[in-house]
């Protein structure tokens, strides 16, 4: 039987066909790498949407959220630090509002079926397609990363993460759309080669999100890997730390508060943060009239207050949860058991299709 690997059609947008108004049962999967406590950019750009999806879901929908440790080791890691960061990532997800009784929350590396399905899918994935992955090329182009198989093939592991639970929907940002297209194509290739509708072709969920930039270089996304810790706001930063980082945020020589991402990126980034953190729906990102007579110092103070208001409950809950080691372990263990019960059935079906079932 020859291999079939065709391009799938573009996935529809969230508003058109991924809306929660539809009553098709949804299985939603998403993951985050264990890089310790996420920063404000992670939260406003992705994690807050996990909570929104949980709130918007119906009782028969299934939400599966994972701390993806196997992805983390595509780059060198200190073992002791990785253990701490896995726990911190789990505590943060609980602190922001992920409910382990409503969503399956687990560590990917504790469910071995992920790695096994990744190998099977890797036997279908064309090298040329993986070589064109923009995220891989971007990391290699920096010269700071060796060309290793794990980094090259991690989009296949990502596909396995999604398909192992027969996900129907995946919340993605623009930088991950290419990976979801690969996931759909691998699912389609498997279904066609083995003449069975084993996998769904997962759709993207394009949810409203904010792209938050570095406080020190507004041409770069806020990132934990940035050398300057003042470039980012951690979800466990204190009120004083937040105020200091916002006060030191690089803007420009003009003191006028204007929304102009092209010519005033630093101020525009602070406006984005303010809009994302405020509870006032009337405060639009580009609505700057109310700041006409506001000094830059006072404006930054208001941004810091809004961030602290949003972060303080998360910070408090994180510290409470992180001190309860037994609870974190219980959530992780229970989540892994629930995930494994689904993953093992899917892998058994896949192995049976390809002729590797137990005899």
Residues marked as catalytic: 139, 221, 224
SS (HEC) of the chain:
CCCCCCCCCCCCCHHHHCCCCCCCCCEEEEEECCCCCCEHHHHHHHHHHHHHHHHHCCCCCEEEEEECHHHHCCCCCCHHHHHHHHHHHHHHHHHHCCCCCCEEEEEHHHCCHHHHHHHHHHCCCCHHHHHCCHHHHHHHHCCCCCCCHHHHHHHHHHHHHHHCCCCCEEECCHHHHHHHHHHHHHHHHHHHHCCCCCCCCCEEECCCCCCCECCCCCCCECCCCCCCHHHCCECCCCHHHHHHHHHCCCCCCCCCCCCECCCEHHHHHHHHHHHHHCCCCCCCCCCCHHHCCCCHHHHHHHHHHHHHHHHHHHHHHHHHHHCCHHHHHHHHHHHHHHHHHHHHHHHHHHHHHHCCCCC
Q: Which residue has the tokens 């998360």?
A: 314
Cα separation of 294 and 359, whole Å? 75
List C-alpha distances in Å: 282 to 212, 276, 288, 290.
20, 12, 11, 11
Q: Residue 106 pairs with which residues in a beta bridge?
A: 66
């Amino acid at each position: 039987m020859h291999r079939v690997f065709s391009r799938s059609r573009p996935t529809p947008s969230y508003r058109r066909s991924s809306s929660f108004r539809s009553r098709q049962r949804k299985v939603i999967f998403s993951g985050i790498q264990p890089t310790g406590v996420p920063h404000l950019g992670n939260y406003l750009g992705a994690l807050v949407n996990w909570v929104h999806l949980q709130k918007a879901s119906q009782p028969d929908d299934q939400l599966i959220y994972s701390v993806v440790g196997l992805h983390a080791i595509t780059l060198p890691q200190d073992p002791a630090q990785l253990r701490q960061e896995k726990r911190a990532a789990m505590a943060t997800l609980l602190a922001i509002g992920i409910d382990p009784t409503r969503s399956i929350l687990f560590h990917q590396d504790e469910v071995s079926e992920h790695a096994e399905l990744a190998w099977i899918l890797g036997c279908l994935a064309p090298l040329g397609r993986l070589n064109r992955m923009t995220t891989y090329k971007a990391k290699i182009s920096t010269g700071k990363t060796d060309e290793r198989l794990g980094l090259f093939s991690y989009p296949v592991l990502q596909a396995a993460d999604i398909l192992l639970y027969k996900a129907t929907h995946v919340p993605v940002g623009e930088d991950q759309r290419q990976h979801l297209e690969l996931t759909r194509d691998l699912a389609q290739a498997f279904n066609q080669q083995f003449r069975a509708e084993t996998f769904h072709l997962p759709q993207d969920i394009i949810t409203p999100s904010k792209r938050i930039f570095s406080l020190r270089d507004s041409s770069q996304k806020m990132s934990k890997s940035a050398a300057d810790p003042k470039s980012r706001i951690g979800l466990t930063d204190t009120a004083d730390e937040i105020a200091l980082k916002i006060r030191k945020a690089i803007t420009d020589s003009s003191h006028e508060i204007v929304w102009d991402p092209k010519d005033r990126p630093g101020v525009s980034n602070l406006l984005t943060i303010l809009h994302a953190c405020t509870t006032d729906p009337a405060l639009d990102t580009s609505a700057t009239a109310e700041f006409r007579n506001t000094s830059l110092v006072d404006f930054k103070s208001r941004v810091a207050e809004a961030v602290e208001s949003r972060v303080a409950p998360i910070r408090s809950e994180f510290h409470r949860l992180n001190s309860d080691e037994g609870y974190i372990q219980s959530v992780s263990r229970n989540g892994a058991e629930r995930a494994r019960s689904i993953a093992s059935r899917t892998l058994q079906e896949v192995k049976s299709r390809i002729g590797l079932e137990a005899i």
